[in-house]
Amino acid sequence: MRYLNTKNLIAAGVLLACMSSIAWGAIIPDRTRIIMNESDKGEALKLTNQSKNLPYLAQTWIEDTKGNKSRDFIVTVPPYGTFKSQ
Protein backbone atom coordinates (compact mmCIF):
# COMPACT_ATOMS: atom_id res chain seq x y z
CA MET A 1 0.00 0.00 0.00
CA ARG A 2 2.97 2.32 0.25
CA TYR A 3 2.82 2.82 -3.55
CA LEU A 4 -0.64 4.41 -3.38
CA ASN A 5 0.40 7.83 -2.20
CA THR A 6 -0.79 11.10 -3.73
CA LYS A 7 2.42 11.77 -5.66
CA ASN A 8 2.36 8.38 -7.41
CA LEU A 9 -1.34 8.69 -8.25
CA ILE A 10 -0.83 12.13 -9.79
CA ALA A 11 2.19 10.89 -11.77
CA ALA A 12 0.20 7.90 -13.04
CA GLY A 13 -2.70 10.16 -14.03
CA VAL A 14 -0.44 12.53 -15.95
CA LEU A 15 1.25 9.60 -17.70
CA LEU A 16 -2.09 8.09 -18.73
CA ALA A 17 -3.34 11.47 -19.97
CA CYS A 18 -0.22 11.88 -22.13
CA MET A 19 -0.51 8.36 -23.55
CA SER A 20 -4.15 8.77 -24.54
CA SER A 21 -3.37 11.72 -26.81
CA ILE A 22 -1.18 9.46 -28.96
CA ALA A 23 -4.25 7.53 -30.10
CA TRP A 24 -6.04 10.49 -31.66
CA GLY A 25 -6.65 10.26 -35.37
CA ALA A 26 -8.34 12.19 -38.12
CA ILE A 27 -10.00 9.37 -40.05
CA ILE A 28 -13.69 9.24 -39.15
CA PRO A 29 -15.80 6.24 -40.28
CA ASP A 30 -19.54 6.72 -40.74
CA ARG A 31 -20.02 3.72 -38.38
CA THR A 32 -17.85 1.38 -36.33
CA ARG A 33 -19.26 -1.97 -37.42
CA ILE A 34 -20.89 -3.49 -40.45
CA ILE A 35 -23.18 -6.40 -39.71
CA MET A 36 -24.36 -8.17 -42.85
CA ASN A 37 -27.24 -10.55 -43.28
CA GLU A 38 -26.70 -13.71 -45.28
CA SER A 39 -28.84 -12.35 -48.13
CA ASP A 40 -26.85 -9.07 -48.47
CA LYS A 41 -24.57 -8.81 -51.49
CA GLY A 42 -22.43 -5.97 -50.17
CA GLU A 43 -21.99 -3.03 -47.83
CA ALA A 44 -20.10 0.25 -47.99
CA LEU A 45 -18.25 2.19 -45.31
CA LYS A 46 -17.43 5.86 -45.81
CA LEU A 47 -14.17 7.20 -44.31
CA THR A 48 -13.55 10.94 -43.98
CA ASN A 49 -10.27 12.73 -43.23
CA GLN A 50 -10.94 15.53 -40.73
CA SER A 51 -7.35 16.84 -40.85
CA LYS A 52 -6.83 20.13 -42.65
CA ASN A 53 -3.06 19.66 -42.99
CA LEU A 54 -2.08 15.98 -43.19
CA PRO A 55 -2.99 12.99 -45.34
CA TYR A 56 -3.62 9.75 -43.45
CA LEU A 57 -3.32 6.08 -44.39
CA ALA A 58 -6.10 3.60 -43.61
CA GLN A 59 -6.01 -0.21 -43.59
CA THR A 60 -9.03 -2.53 -43.78
CA TRP A 61 -9.61 -6.17 -42.85
CA ILE A 62 -12.46 -8.45 -41.82
CA GLU A 63 -12.62 -10.31 -38.50
CA ASP A 64 -14.89 -13.06 -37.23
CA THR A 65 -16.68 -12.83 -33.87
CA LYS A 66 -13.56 -14.07 -32.05
CA GLY A 67 -11.30 -11.37 -33.51
CA ASN A 68 -9.53 -13.65 -36.01
CA LYS A 69 -8.97 -12.40 -39.56
CA SER A 70 -11.56 -13.92 -41.87
CA ARG A 71 -11.14 -14.94 -45.49
CA ASP A 72 -14.86 -15.58 -46.03
CA PHE A 73 -15.45 -12.08 -47.43
CA ILE A 74 -13.52 -9.89 -49.84
CA VAL A 75 -12.53 -6.29 -49.17
CA THR A 76 -12.37 -4.54 -52.53
CA VAL A 77 -9.80 -1.98 -53.56
CA PRO A 78 -8.30 -0.10 -51.82
CA PRO A 79 -7.35 -2.21 -48.79
CA TYR A 80 -4.87 0.61 -48.17
CA GLY A 81 -5.80 4.16 -49.05
CA THR A 82 -4.40 7.61 -48.49
CA PHE A 83 -6.95 10.17 -47.47
CA LYS A 84 -5.89 13.68 -48.45
CA SER A 85 -6.57 16.61 -46.16
CA GLN A 86 -9.64 18.74 -46.79
What is the C-alpha separation between 73 and 80, in angstroms, rounded?
A: 17
What is the C-alpha separation between 52 and 37, in angstroms, rounded?
A: 37
DSSP state of 6: H
What is the C-alpha separation between 64 and 80, in angstroms, rounded?
A: 20
Which domain does 79 fall in, by range? 25-83
Q: Is residue 8 part of a domain?
A: no
Q: Into how many domains does the chain fold?
A: 1
Residues 39-56 pLDDT 10s: 988 888 888 888 888 887
Q: Is residue 41 part of a domain?
A: yes
Residues 52-86 pLDDT 10s: 888 877 777 888 888 888 877 776 656 556 666 65
Q: Which amino acid is at 44?
A: A
Please name the residue ranges forming H helices in the chain. 6-20
What is the C-alpha separation between 30 and 49, in angstroms, rounded?
A: 11
Q: Is residue 7 part of a domain?
A: no
Q: Is residue 16 part of a domain?
A: no
What is this structure's pTM?
0.50
Q: Is residue 12 part of a domain?
A: no
Q: Is residue 70 part of a domain?
A: yes
